[in-house]
Amino acid sequence: MTAIGRARSWAAAGVLLIGVAGCGLVPHASRPAGGGPTEAKITAHEAALTATEQQHVEQYWAGRGIAAMARTDRSGAFVQPEWDKGGAIARTVGRIYVTGAQDAACTATAVGTNTVVTAAHCVRTTLPDGSSRTATWDKNLYFVPGYRDGQSPHGGFTVRRVHMAEDWQADGSDVAMLEMNPAADGRSVSAVVGAQKIAFGAKPGGSTHQFGYPYTSRVLHCEGPGTQPGDAPRFLRIPCRMGVGSSGGPYIVDLDPAGIGTVVAVNVSSDAAYSYGTALGPVAGRLFTQSEHP
pLDDT above 90 for 22: no
As a whole number of angstroms, the distance between CA 59 and CA 74 comes to 25
Percent of the residues in the chain that have a pLDDT greater than 90, as a whole number: 72
Measure the N-to-C terminal CA separation of the chain; round to a whole number of Å.
31
Confidence at residue 14, expressed as pLDDT on a 0 to 100 scale: 33
Q: Residue 167: which residues within 8 A CB-CB, separation 6 or more?
A: 30, 32, 33, 40, 41, 132, 133, 173
Residue 175 pLDDT: 97
The mean pLDDT value of the chain amounts to 86
Q: Give the pLDDT band (50/70/90) at residue 38.
A: low
The predicted model gives 2-7 an average pLDDT of: 46
CB 27 within 8 A of CB 160: no
pLDDT in tens, 67-115: 999 998 988 878 999 999 999 999 999 999 999 989 999 999 999 999 9
Query: In the predicted model, what is the mean pLDDT of residues 212-235?
Result: 93
Comparing CA positions, the residue from 154, 158, 138 lying closest to residue 61 is 158
Q: What 3-state class would DSSP assign to 287?
A: helix
Q: What is the mean pLDDT of residues 171-185?
A: 95
**Nearest residue to 15 via CA among 200, 196, 197, 278:** 200
Q: Which helix (H) or strand (E) holds 282?
A: helix 282-292
The average pLDDT across 58-73 equals 91
Q: Report the pLDDT value the prediction gives residue 4, as an integer from 0 to 100.
A: 52
Residue 245 CA to chain centroid, in angstroms?
A: 11
pLDDT band at 63 (very low <50, low <70, confident <90, very high): confident
- How far apart are the C-alpha atoms of 275 and 4, rounded to whole Å? 10
Rounded Cα distance between 287 and 173, Å, is 11
The pLDDT tens digits of the residues spanning 227-271 come to 998 878 899 999 999 989 999 999 999 999 999 999 999 999 999
Q: What is the DSSP string of 54-102?
A: HHHHHHHIIIIIHHHHHTTSB-SS-SS-B--S-TTHHHHEEEEEEESSS
Statement: residue 152 has pLDDT above 80: yes
